[in-house]
Amino acid sequence: MTRSELPIDAEEYLSWLVAERGRSSNTVAAYRRDLSGYCEWLRGRKTSVLDVKAPDIDAFVAQRRSEAAPSSVARQLAAVRNFHRFLVAENRRRDDPTADLDGVRVPAGIPKPLSEEDVARLIGAVVGDDAVARRDRALLEFLYATGARISEACGLSLGDLDLESGLVRLYGKGSKERLVPVGSCARQALEQWLSGGRPDLVPTRWKRRGDAEAVFLDRRGGRLSRQAAWAAVTRHGERAGLTGHLSPHVLRHSCATHMLDHGADLRIVQEMLGHASISTTQVYTKVSQERIFEQYRAAHPRARVGRGE
């Protein structure tokens, strides 16, 4: 077995994630990377996934803590735990060496959304009226209007869009389907892209099955990749002077935060974003509250000591 190969038990686990749990290709790829690092570490310890003991797992976690951020350690540990639970369920092992392992505490981070003015600057930074400009403008408007994940936008097909009704069908994690409204600005940008931009990028012959149905195309007429979509967002962000950690996910944060700022119900935002748990959505309430506090401190004459006296 080479360093890049996984043991057969791990390969069967990854296949099970797809066939039985409906995990996306991106999720399975992330699990593969985490399990590859784990199995390589086991080989260095002269043990295997079927023989590893709890003290070995403790040593693995301790080493990873010294090398990586808590979020990375927690993610890899989750992959290892789920893998060993699979081995027990499939009678490959009688015991689970991760059963008594303490979790890795990850500091709670509050997402930093763009302001509404920054969103307008970002979309306004898309200059020109050619096919690529129309595509990028439609992509930015769509991400902000729907709170869609970048993978959901890139995987979008023409049959998922109903611009007349202002609805889009999105497929989230685990291929879960949800209907999301599309606002007027996004609808207008999508109509301009589909009628006067996308046709210019359609190739004489489609290279891959499914590309013909893709809403967003790249310059060569293929389905727009996540990497290319990410690059488009950051490129226009730089043009708008929005430096820092601007990404497609920031637009998702911004959509949720701005909706809550304007009185949207938390459950509605949860459904719209496709969160399985309301606790995931509640992080945006912290953002909105902090924005209220900032505006209050800046605007109220007696909010700070020494003012208005």
Q: Is 284 a catalytic residue?
A: yes
- Say whether 236 is catalytic: no
Q: Is 176 a catalytic residue?
A: no
Residue pair 144/254 in contact by the 8 Å Cβ criterion: yes
**Contact by Cβ (8 Å): 5, 39:** no
Whether 207 is a known active-site residue: answer no
- Written as six digits, the tokens of 162 are 């109903």
The CB density around residue 259, as the number of other CB atoms within 10 Å, is 19
**252 given a catalytic annotation:** yes
CB-based contact 84:51 (threshold 8 Å)? no
Q: Which of 149, 169, 178, 205 is catalytic?
A: 149
Catalytic residue among 137, 252, 253, 258: 252
- Can you state the percent helix, strand and coil of the chain, rounding each to 5? 60, 5, 35
Beta carbons within 10 angstroms of residue 112's beta carbon: 13
* Active-site residue, 275 included: yes
Bridge partners (DSSP) of residue 66 are none
In degrees rounded to 5, what are phi and psi of residue 184? -65, -40
Task: Calculate the alpha carbon distances from 2 to 5, 49, 128, 160, 202 in Å.
Answer: 5, 16, 51, 43, 42
Contact 179, 168 (CB under 8 A): yes
Q: How far apart are CA 152 and CA 123, in angstroms?
A: 20
What DSSP designation does 51 have? T
Please give the C-alpha separations between residue 279 and each of 82, 250, 266, in angstroms, as whole numbers: 22, 19, 10
* Catalytic annotation, pick one of 32, 121, 169, 173: 173
Residue 60 exposed, middle or buried by CB count within 10 Å (0-12, 13-18, 19+): buried
Length in residues, the chain: 309
Place of tokens 């749990």: 21
Which residues have a catalytic role annotated?
A: 149, 173, 249, 252, 275, 284
